[in-house]
Structures are given as C-alpha cells and as structure tokens.
Structure 1
C-alpha cells in the first residue's frame, strides 16, 4: 500500500459513480466491476473533475457535487442540428432518445442524440448527454502511482 498522493501526472485506478441530482445513475464503473484507469492531465477528464481528485490517496472515498459548468457544460443551441430524413438510411428505425454515431470530415465519429423526428426533419443534439446537469461524482481511489520516467 503506497501513500502516494494524486498529483498532476499520477496514474490513478479508481471506481466512480456518476449520479444526477435526483439520485439516478448516469455512469458507474461498479456495474461491470471494472475500475477506471486514468493518467492525470491526459485530457480524459475535465480540469474540474481532475481538480476533485488532486490530493486524494489510495483508499480515499469522496463525493463531489459539480455544477453543469464544472462538469459537462451547458447545452449549447449551436450543437443542435436539423437534418433531412433522407440523410439516414431508409431502413433505419430512428426514434427519439436514440444515440447514434455521426462521422465527421476528419474521420472521427461523434455521438448525437435524436431529439425528435417530424416528417422529413430529424433533430439531432450533439451536446454531451449530461450537458446542463448538476452531477454527483463519487470516487473510491484504489491505486495511485507516478509514471515511470
């Protein structure tokens, strides 16, 4: 058992539960019993999530409540797009609430949530599914190590 404290480049193995204010689960590593491994500063977590972890050490359990601007941001109207139904495969069953991947010109794929289907118009929201939500971030630090130089 090390007494390493999480710093700006630490490797961290942790379990986390992400919940909404009403207590509903948004994400959890415990569901699949697979802890998350991350390297601080690698961009996989926002600065605000990382700031919550700084100074914690192995065995620590902590809960943080993050406002939308500190978590996934606010929903931005410019991330909501109206697309023609004919841009989707005709045999594709598109329904409200569905999350689909959309290819970008650079080859990357980004997820979009189908918000509505009305006639030939499909409304797709490219905001993060948790945008605009206050989230509760419960962490249990399993292991902290410094990357070998």
Structure 2
C-alpha cells in the first residue's frame, strides 16, 4: 500500500505532496530502446527506490520524477546524455591477446571482462573486436549513445523527516 502525505496550506486547501530533491521515492518502471524492445522493468524485480537528485539513477529519471504525486505515471524519451551517456571512443582500448590469455581470459566477442586497474578500482569492459593478436575492449555502458524511453509509476514518497516546510501542517 502506498503511503501519501498531504499538505494543508495556510489557505486551508489540501494538496497532494509532490516529489522534491532529496525525497526518498519508490517507483515501478519500464525502460525501452527506441525500437520498442523492453530491456528492464521492475516487473522483473523489486520497485526502484532512490533519493531524488542523487546520482544513483540516470539523470533523466531524476528530472522525470520531480513534481510527481503518488499514483501518477509519466513516460518520456531521453537522449543519451540524460540516459546512459554519450558513446566515448576514448573508453575503447586495444590490448594484446596474449595479455588477456596471461590472465586466463579467452577473448570472444561479447565477453564481459572486469579489469583491475592500477588504482585498485575495477573497470567493466566488453570484448568488441578481435583482430589478429589485438583485442578491443569497450568500457562504455552497453546502452551508451542510445535514446531510452522510460515510464515511471510513483508508488511512494518518503520526505526527509528532519526538514520542516514553512507555513504548512502535515496531516
């Protein structure tokens, strides 16, 4: 059951609470490529929970959820810069096949590889090309450069409890 908070303004009118930056929200979602193929949905797992405005979701979702009320549904097509980012050729690396083999990796196109960098962080990459003794590894998100359609259904808003809204009474 969704929990909704309403605000009673000084004029006495009851208004539905709308999502603001910093609110913890829970949404059902569906995401499609422009060709209509569904690639992710909360139907496959739990609803998505995130803090509006934080970088834990793609930027377009943050913009779409702002101002929504519980029970509202919104759908929008996002360009790459508001989805999974622009495709960056500087995130493609050519390495020697024998280097991968020395790490017990047999390169095959489409293989996902996690590479430990010198700074001890992990970079996830996909083998995209095999050319003789060279292998191309791509660190772009697999949906980088693509337009993404998103539908959000707002299930719940949990406002920060330590923040008061001047001139209103929460009911």
TM-score where L is the length of structure 2: 0.78
Q: Name the structure 2 match of 1:97.
A: 110
The answer on whether the counterparts of 2:32 and 2:38 sit within 8 Å (CA) in structure 1 is yes
Q: Name the structure 2 match of 1:106.
A: 119
Aligned residues: 148
Structure 1 runs of 4+ aligned residues shifted over 3 Å read none
Tell me the C-alpha RMSD between the 2 structures.
1.7
Q: Name the structure 1 match of 2:63.
A: 51
Secondary structure of 1:48's aligned partner = helix
Q: Does 1:122 align with 2:146?
A: no
The answer on whether the counterparts of 2:30 and 2:41 sit within 8 Å (CA) in structure 1 is yes
- Structure 2 unmatched ranges of 5 or more: 5-15, 163-171
TM-aligned CA distance change 1:110 to 1:4, over 3 Å: farther
In the TM superposition, 1:40-79 aligns within 5 A as 40-79=52-91
Q: What do residues 45-64 of structure 1 show as CA deviations (whole Å, max 9, x unaligned)?
A: 24332111100121111111
Task: Tell me, in whole angstroms, the C-alpha distance in 2 between the residues paired with 1:131 and 1:111.
Answer: 14
* Greater C-alpha Rg: 2
TM-aligned CA distance change 1:57 to 1:108, over 3 Å: farther
Q: What do residues 64-120 of structure 1 show as CA deviations (whole Å, max 9, x unaligned)?
A: 100112222221111111111122245433211222222223322222111012222
Cα distance, 1:5 vs structure 2: 1.4
TM-score where L is the length of structure 1: 0.89
Secondary structure of 2:157's aligned partner = strand
Q: Name the structure 2 match of 1:85.
A: 97
The one of 135, 145, 149 equivalent to 2:158 is: 145
TM-aligned CA distance change 1:109 to 1:4, over 3 Å: farther
